[in-house]
Amino acid sequence: MERRDFKSWGLFRIFISYFKPHMGLFLLDMACALFIALVDLAFPYLSRLCLYELIPDNMFGAFAAVIGIIVAAYVARSFLQFVVTYWGHGFGILVEADIREDLFSHLQTLSVSFFDKNRTGHLMSRLTSELFDITELAHHGPEDIFISGVTILGAIAILFTVQWRLALLMLLLIPIFLAVANLNRVKLMETSRGVKRETASINADIESSLSGMRTAKAFTNEEAEHEKFDRANDRFRVSKKAQYKAMGRFQASLEFFTSIMPVTVIAYGGYLIMRGTMDYRDLITFTLYTSTFINPIRKLANLSEMLVNGTAGLSRFVELMRLEPELKDKPGARELSGVSGRIDVEDVSFTYEREDGEVLHHVTLHVAPGETVAVVGPSGGGKTTLCSLIPRFYDVTEGSISIDGQDVRDVTQQSLRRSIGVVQQDVFLFADSIMNNIRYGRPDATDDEVAWAARRAEIYDDIMAMPRGFDTYVGERGVLLSGGQKQRISIARIFLKNPPVLILDEATSALDSVTEAKIQRAFDELARGRTTLIIAHRLSTVRAASRILVIRDGVITEEGTHEQLMAKNGDYARLYNTQNLHM
């Protein structure tokens, strides 16, 4: 696979580089396009031959042969037009698929912070509708330029042999048209980019509204959502009207040019006939070639719109491809293997880009292999942030984090995250079967291994009670399952992954007391011999932890066992007693 330098290459070179793997189809498309152009050029010339020689001399046989050749040529032209339409678009689809694959692969390399700042709908638009414009440009761009160029240049060359004065006049009209078209093209490109931005914006708003439809209905905020959609739709409508205004100017100039050309030919040709310097049969030939001119000119006009849209889509594609991930593996980064699970957090401070103040302030923590450490404290204190730094979803602002003595910035991100299992508070399930959602923990797992993981997560009996068992479809983000079922499926993934380090971020928050007790037993078994960090809101679930940390306002305020912290009668004791009062 060709490696593309998106940083230093220009748009054109990047675009053409996607043609190389499919050059056979491209050359077939161009060869068929050339034959089509030659047939269009031959018909007026053969008509002139018939008018000058075959018809006046009553050459019936030769005339019939010429007509037969023309009919056969147009039959072949029709077949080749099918090839151009079908295989040419197939070539465009292959180019689009390659571009989409590169874009999706690149998006996967970008850091978590990128997705924090960019809406899903915007990225969806980049991956779908905008790439379609590039497909059309890939297919029609070279083909239309080639056909139009061959037809126009070929026709001009032939017409110079017929009557150079009239041919020169037609040749002068073409640069005038191209100059006017170029003036309008710049404005058309600007408005097209605006339309793409607003299309991405309305896609993002629609995606957000549809995803939150249950919430909108629960709060009876359908009208507010409709107003929000109307505002986005109005912005789109305004930008689209500006694009069509620019397009209207272009089309108007095109129609004027294509209409005035035959008039110019008839006017000047009639003048030359009356002066005795041109034959009427040559004027008929010129008129036929004028009609031949019209189609290439219309193709060029359509190409201008296509070029504008495709170039806008291509520039936005390259803009994304030129983004560098904020978190990169260092050159020569090592693979993290044979992990025992020692975690060392040394004087760590952290600030999110979107926030002014620090979230963590000079936090130091040492976790021994196989130790279970609970992290508790009020909401917003920095518990989840601390645990997000360990798998290096973000880089520390100050200090360092090490696994088995190796700084997480010195090992590959993939090997680091393979060694860490995370069960998040906000469970995400794919719109797929239960089987595939659990298997996501280890894609090569067998059905029996998936079933084993489901049993360990106390979800097996629930699955088997469903009509389709493990083939049950979970819906968008698991909407067809209960909160507890979703949570346990995410836990089953971790059982299947079987990592040496576990991070449980409010992993039992959606479970009832009975199920929570079952899962807690499973966690206790899974945590045996592994390093486990538990972020917990319910303090009753962490009493058995070997150590409990209290984080408030980004600092560790207390540390010890449950009994030790209760004896201190500090932050932990106040949190614990408050929860017990409300039980």
User: What are φ and ψ of residue 399, in 5° steps?
Assistant: 85, -160
User: What are φ and ψ of residue 369, in 5° steps?
Assistant: -55, 130
Regarding whether 408 and 292 lie in a shared domain, the answer is no
Regarding whether 380 and 288 lie in a shared domain, the answer is no
Q: Does a structural domain hold residue 189?
A: yes
Q: Does a structural domain hold residue 88?
A: yes
Q: Which residue has the higher pLDDT, 201 or 274?
A: 274
Regarding whether 349 and 303 lie in a shared domain, the answer is no
Predicted pLDDT at 58: 76
CA 347 to chain centre: 39
Regarding whether 351 and 224 lie in a shared domain, the answer is no
Confidence of residue 294 (pLDDT cuts 50, 70, 90): confident
Please state, as a whole number, how many other Cβ atoms lie within 10 Å of the Cβ of residue 2: 8
- Per DSSP, the residues of 184-237 read HHHHHHHHHHHHHHHHHHHHHHHHHHHHTHHHHHHTT-HHHHHHHHHHHHHHHH
Average pLDDT (381-405) is: 88
Q: What is the pLDDT of residues 127-155, one digit of tens each?
A: 777 787 787 788 778 888 888 888 888 88
Q: Does a structural domain hold residue 513?
A: yes
CATH at 556 = 3.40.50.300
pLDDT at 215 over 70: no
pLDDT at 501 over 50: yes
**Range from 155-164, 228-237, 455-464 that averages highest in pLDDT:** 455-464
169 vs 530: CA distance, rounded Å: 86
Query: Of 503, 521, 363, nearest to 456 (Cα)?
Result: 521
* Percent share of the chain, pLDDT over 90: 5
Predicted pLDDT at 219: 57
Please identify, among 289, 321, 353, the residue that sits at the C-terminal boundary of a domain: 321
Please identify, among 321, 356, 374, the residue that sits at the C-terminal boundary of a domain: 321
Q: What is the pLDDT of residues 61-94, one digit of tens each?
A: 877 887 888 889 889 989 988 988 888 888 888 8
Please identify, among 288, 321, 354, the residue that sits at the C-terminal boundary of a domain: 321
Using CB atoms within 10 Å of the CB of residue 239, give its burial: 0 to 12 exposed, 13 to 18 middle, 19+ buried: buried
Mean pLDDT lowest for which of 24-38, 79-93, 113-127, 267-281?
A: 113-127
User: 136 and 129 in contact (C-beta within 8 Å)?
Assistant: no
Please give the model's pTM, rounded to 2 decimal places: 0.67
Q: Does a structural domain hold residue 539?
A: yes
Predicted pLDDT at 281: 80
Q: Which domain holds residue 359?
A: 343-581
pLDDT at 273 over 60: yes
Q: Which residue has the higher pLDDT, 525 or 108?
A: 108
Q: Does a structural domain hold residue 329?
A: no
pLDDT at 175 over 80: no
CATH at 236 = 1.20.1560.10
Could you write out the three-class secondary structure of 223-246?
HHHHHHHHHHHHHHHHHHHHHHHH
Q: Which residue has the higher pLDDT, 128 or 208?
A: 128
Q: To 10 degrees, the CA torsion angle through 205, 206, 207, 208? A: 50
Confidence of residue 543 (pLDDT cuts 50, 70, 90): confident
Question: Left if phi > 0, otherwise alpha if psi is -120 to 50, otherwise beta: which for 380?
Answer: left
pLDDT at 228 over 80: no
Q: Which residue has the higher pLDDT, 118 or 151?
A: 151
pLDDT at 414 over 50: yes
577 vs 123: CA distance, rounded Å: 47
Q: How many helices (H) and strands (E) does the chain have?
A: 19, 10
Average pLDDT (160-171) is: 80
Mean pLDDT lowest for which of 36-45, 165-174, 259-268, 518-527?
A: 518-527
pLDDT at 483 over 70: yes
Predicted pLDDT at 583: 47
Residues facing 344 on adjacent strands: 366, 402
Q: Does a structural domain hold residue 331?
A: no
User: 228 and 205 in contact (C-beta within 8 Å)?
Assistant: yes
Antiparallel, parallel or unpaired: β 547-552 and 372-376: parallel
Average pLDDT (325-335) is: 85
What average pLDDT does the structure give for the chain?
81
Provide the number of structural domains found in the chain: 2
pLDDT at 341 over 50: yes
Q: Does a structural domain hold residue 336?
A: no
Regarding whether 311 and 231 lie in a shared domain, the answer is yes
Q: Does a structural domain hold residue 3?
A: no
Predicted pLDDT at 356: 62
User: What are φ and ψ of residue 499, in 5° steps?
Assistant: -85, 160
Predicted pLDDT at 366: 92
Regarding whether 404 and 270 lie in a shared domain, the answer is no
* Percent share of the chain, pLDDT over 70: 88
Regarding whether 391 and 294 lie in a shared domain, the answer is no
Regarding whether 72 and 17 lie in a shared domain, the answer is yes
- Per DSSP, the residues of 148-162 read HHHHHHHHHHHHHHH
pLDDT at 263 over 50: yes
Regarding whether 490 and 430 lie in a shared domain, the answer is yes
569 vs 574: CA distance, rounded Å: 7
Predicted pLDDT at 522: 65
| Host H or E run for residue 133 | helix 129-162
Regarding whether 528 and 455 lie in a shared domain, the answer is yes
Average pLDDT (519-531) is: 73
Predicted pLDDT at 45: 76
Query: Of 205, 200, 222, nearest to 213 (Cα)?
Result: 222
Regarding whether 352 and 256 lie in a shared domain, the answer is no
For the chain, the farthest-separated pair of C-alpha atoms sits apart, in whole angstroms, at 122
Q: Which residue has the higher pLDDT, 301 or 375?
A: 375
pLDDT at 113 over 70: yes
Regarding whether 404 and 465 lie in a shared domain, the answer is yes
